[in-house]
């Protein structure tokens, strides 16, 4: 087989990475002992949580299985199935090589950004769990070791009366006092009664006063007992976002999240630089190549990648490394099951500029049942020292909560 640079990067080339590995086994696969192994299968199962979580398992001929998770969304399991032939026969310890291989092979199907990156992320997280088990080290060790033994968690809070400032403050107080969290987030893109036309993204004065009242009431209620951030979900125009950010500058806001749509970097930069209110952005950007522009243009005060969406554990680490050069902290967006939540905790432990990891399922009573281990306790995650991610799927709980029509994973 003749190989050249062009054919090596052609996603339609006839050879596969497995054939390339066979020719270069001494370089890419042969390691001796228990480290010489192959991927034999990749499977997915969707769990019907507050989002349809896509769990991923990578199997090997040594009987070791890695568990990961991709960000929820239509088409993710199908894309993972599409990629399975590209990793069968490969050594799972080659995490970076396999990640880049999948990016290249799926380039025609959108691996620059979007759902294809999300699907690759799920495999990448599973590879970290698998490699940690093979090498008998926790996943954070694969990322360079840890700065901290536990990760702070911020709780995304909700109430049936989401537009009532006092109801939000009551829930903030309850979550702090009863559930033990010292970091919170509330939605700010809620109805105020002053709206005329939400499609134009413009905030009328009454709307801004209402949102500022929510911020004031919540932050005054919890005071120094908790940090509080507020999410706008990309809802407002540039001018309205600047006026809103200015209106809440006097309050103790941890950050204002996604005030404008994500596509226009110049508008985002203008909003961020117009206010002393910290601005957090990042969950709708993909890979370090996209988030790098946000950071280098200083268009963000806090960067918020979503690990099982943005490219996986090492890609999140790369983003954090770029952010660290600009003294920008990292607060990981997270709406995942315990699997990707723990993956985020491992990355958070391994980077110096980590603030917290989001928890979006405090109202879902069985969230923690999906794994055998305790994940969040008193608002923190103790980063485990067990090999891999340190969480074990409870297959009975997974089966109980599977999306209709899904099949349970095979046994190892």
Least confident of 112-121, 180-189, 192-201, 318-327: 192-201
Q: At 241, give phi and psi (nearest 5°).
A: -60, -40
CA distances for 339 relative to 219, 302, 391, angstroms = 31, 24, 7
- How do residues 389-409 score in pLDDT, each as one tens digit? 999 999 999 999 999 999 999
* Residue 256 DSSP one-character state: E
Given 3-state DSSP classes, what are the helix, strand and coil percentages for the chain, each rounded to the nearest 5? Answer: 45, 15, 40
Name the CATH topology of 5-137.
Enolase-like; domain 1 (3.30.390)
> Percent of the chain at pLDDT above 70?
92
Contacts with 33 (C-beta within 8 Å, 6 or more apart), sequence order:
none
Contacts with 99 (C-beta within 8 Å, 6 or more apart), sequence order:
120, 124, 127, 311, 312, 314, 315
Half-sphere exposure of 245 (CA within 13 A, CB side): 28
- How do residues 187-219 score in pLDDT, each as one tens digit? 999 999 888 888 899 999 999 999 999 999 999
- How do residues 257-297 score in pLDDT, each as one tens digit? 999 999 999 999 999 999 999 999 999 999 999 999 999 99
The strand pair at 330-332 and 150-156 is best described as: unpaired
Answer whether 231's CB lies under 8 Å from 282's CB. Answer: no
pLDDT of residue 13: 47
Give the Cα separation of 286 and 268 in Å (integer): 16
Mean pLDDT along residues 313-338: 98
Please determine, for residue 350, whether its predicted confidence score (pLDDT) is greater than 80. Answer: yes
Give the Cα separation of 253 and 107 in Å (integer): 40
Q: At 285, give phi and psi (nearest 5°).
A: -115, 155
* Residue 200 DSSP one-character state: G
The ranges assigned to domains in the chain are 5-137, 142-386
Answer whether 240's CB lies under 8 Å from 211's CB. Answer: no
Please determine, for residue 1, whether its predicted confidence score (pLDDT) is greater than 70. Answer: no
Burial class from Cβ neighbours inside 10 Å (0-12, 13-18, 19+) for residue 410 reads exposed
Beta bridge partners of 138: 388
Mean pLDDT along residues 307-322: 98
Beta bridge partners of 356: 331
pLDDT of residue 29: 54
Give the Cα separation of 304 and 295 in Å (integer): 11
Residue 205 neighbours by CB distance under 10 Å: 10
Give the Cα separation of 166 and 248 in Å (integer): 17
Contacts with 24 (C-beta within 8 Å, 6 or more apart), sequence order:
none
* Residue 62 DSSP one-character state: T
Return mean pLDDT, the chain: 92
Mean pLDDT along residues 104-125: 92
Q: What is the 3-state secondary structure (H, E, C) of 143-183?
A: CCCCCCCEEEEEEECCCCCCCCHHHHHHHHHHHHHHHCCCE
Beta bridge partners of 358: 154
The strand pair at 330-332 and 354-359 is best described as: parallel
Task: Supply 338's token pair.
Answer: 């315990």
Task: Supply 21's token pair.
Answer: 């590995």
Please determine, for residue 3, whether its predicted confidence score (pLDDT) is greater than 80. Answer: no
pLDDT of residue 27: 44
Pick the CATH number of 142-386 from 3.40.50.80, 3.20.20.120, 3.30.565.10, 2.60.120.200: 3.20.20.120
pLDDT of residue 231: 98
pLDDT of residue 156: 98
CA 86 from centroid of its chain's CA atoms: 24
pLDDT of residue 223: 95
Residue whose token pair is 């204002």: 256
Residue from 65, 70, 64 nearest 47 by CA: 70
Whole-prediction pTM: 0.91
């Amino acid at each position: 087989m003749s190989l050249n640079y062009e054919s090596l990067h052609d996603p339609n080339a006839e050879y596969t990475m497995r054939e390339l590995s066979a020719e270069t086994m001494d370089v890419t696969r042969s390691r001796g002992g228990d480290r010489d192994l192959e991927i034999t299968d990749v499977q997915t199962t969707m769990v019907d949580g507050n989002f349809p979580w896509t769990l991923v398992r990578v199997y090997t001929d040594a009987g070791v299985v890695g568990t990961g998770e991709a960000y929820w969304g239509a088409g993710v399991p199908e894309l993972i199935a599409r990629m399975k032939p590209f990793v069968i026969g490969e050594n799972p310890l080659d995490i970076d090589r396999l990640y880049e291989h999948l990016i290249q092979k799926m380039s025609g199907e959108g691996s620059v950004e979007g759902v294809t990156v999300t699907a690759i992320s799920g495999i990448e997280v599973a590879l970290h769990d698998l490699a940690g088990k093979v090498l008998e080290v926790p996943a954070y060790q694969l990322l360079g070791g840890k700065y901290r033994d536990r990760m702070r968690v911020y709780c995304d809070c909700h109430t049936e009366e989401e537009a009532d400032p006092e109801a939000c403050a009551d829930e903030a107080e309850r979550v702090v006092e009863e559930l033990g969290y010292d970091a919170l987030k509330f939605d700010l893109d809620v109805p105020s009664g002053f709206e005329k036309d939400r499609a134009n993204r413009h905030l009328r004065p009454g709307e801004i006063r209402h949102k500022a009242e929510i911020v004031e009431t919540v932050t005054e209620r919890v005071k120094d007992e908790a940090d509080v951030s507020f999410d706008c979900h990309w809802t407002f125009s540039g001018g309205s976002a600047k006026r809103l950010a200015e209106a809440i500058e006097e309050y103790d806001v941890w950050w204002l999240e996604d005030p404008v749509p994500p596509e226009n970097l110049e508008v985002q930069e203008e909003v961020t630089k117009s206010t002393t209110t910290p601005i957090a952005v990042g969950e709708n950007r993909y890979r370090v190549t996209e988030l790098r522009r946000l950071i280098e243009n200083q268009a963000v005060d806090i960067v918020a990648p979503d690990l099982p969406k943005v490219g996986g554990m090492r890609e999140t680490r790369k983003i954090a490394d770029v952010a660290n050069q600009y003294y920008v902290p990292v607060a990981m967006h997270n709406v995942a099951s315990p699997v990707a939540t723990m993956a985020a905790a491992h990355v958070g432990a391994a980077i110096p500029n980590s603030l917290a990891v989001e928890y979006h399922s405090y109202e879902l009573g069985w969230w923690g049942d999906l794994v055998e281990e305790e994940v969040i306790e008193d608002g923190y995650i103790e980063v485990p020292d067990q090999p891999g991610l340190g969480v074990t799927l409870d297959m009975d709980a997974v089966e109980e909560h599977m999306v209709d029509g899904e099949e349970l994973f095979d046994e190892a």
